[in-house]
């Protein structure tokens, strides 16, 4: 019997529900799955087409502790899901708070940098949406089609 490389427990054989349809796991889930519960095998992808004779279950091996870890991670995503770590609750809370602090700091840094970036983007947007009309020399804005301004004097066009 194979062993789970994370939990060092033997894989057991049993029924695994077959899931039909396009299954898309989030990137965070996929990362957690590879690291924390690689042998959960909670479902087997059955493809997109489900007919009356499509099997509902398949046989396969899985790690019971991986399944527990997966359930724990789905309840509350944490890099310690399914692991026995002393003081885990406190550690997870600390990690959560550290993540919040980091997000806050990134937010503050972005806020400090953003006005300038926004201004640059605005200038570029204006430059790209303004075009000089070759006939009359008016600058017209393609995003606000109604307004046509003279490229020289910046006065609105006479209409």
Q: Which spans of this chain sit near Zn ion (rule: CB under 5 A)?
A: 4, 6-7, 39, 63, 65-66
SS3 140: strand
Least distance (Å) between residue 86 CB and Zn ion = 20
Q: Considering beta carbons, is residue 82 or 140 the nearer one to Zn ion?
A: 82
Least distance (Å) between residue 44 CB and Zn ion = 17
Least distance (Å) between residue 32 CB and Zn ion = 13
Q: Considering beta carbons, is residue 65 or 78 the nearer one to Zn ion?
A: 65
| Contact between 42 and 17 (Cβ < 8 Å) | yes
Secondary structure, 3-state, 44-91: EECCCCCCCCCCCEEEEEECHHHHHHHHHHHHCCCCCCCCCCCCHHHH
Least distance (Å) between residue 34 CB and Zn ion = 12
Q: Considering beta carbons, is residue 63 or 81 the nearer one to Zn ion?
A: 63
The separation between CA 113 and the C-alpha centre of its own chain, rounded to angstroms, equals 24
């Amino acid at each position: 019997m194979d062993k789970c490389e994370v939990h060092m427990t033997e894989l057991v054989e049993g029924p695994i529900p077959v899931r039909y349809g396009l299954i898309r796991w989030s990137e965070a889930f996929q990362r957690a799955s590879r690291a924390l519960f690689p042998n959960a095998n909670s479902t087997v992808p059955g493809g997109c087409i489900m007919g009356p004779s499509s099997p509902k279950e398949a046989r396969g091996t899985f790690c019971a502790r991986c399944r527990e870890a997966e359930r724990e991670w789905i309840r509350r995503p944490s890099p310690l899901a399914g692991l026995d770590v002393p003081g885990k609750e406190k550690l997870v809370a600390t990690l959560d708070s550290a993540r919040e602090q980091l997000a806050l700091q990134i937010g503050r840094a972005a806020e400090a940098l953003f006005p300038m970036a926004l201004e640059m983007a605005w200038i570029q947007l204006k430059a790209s949406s303004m075009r000089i009309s070759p006939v009359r020399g008016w600058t017209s804005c393609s995003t606000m089609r109604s307004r046509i301004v003279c490229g020289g004097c910046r006065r609105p066009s006479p209409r």
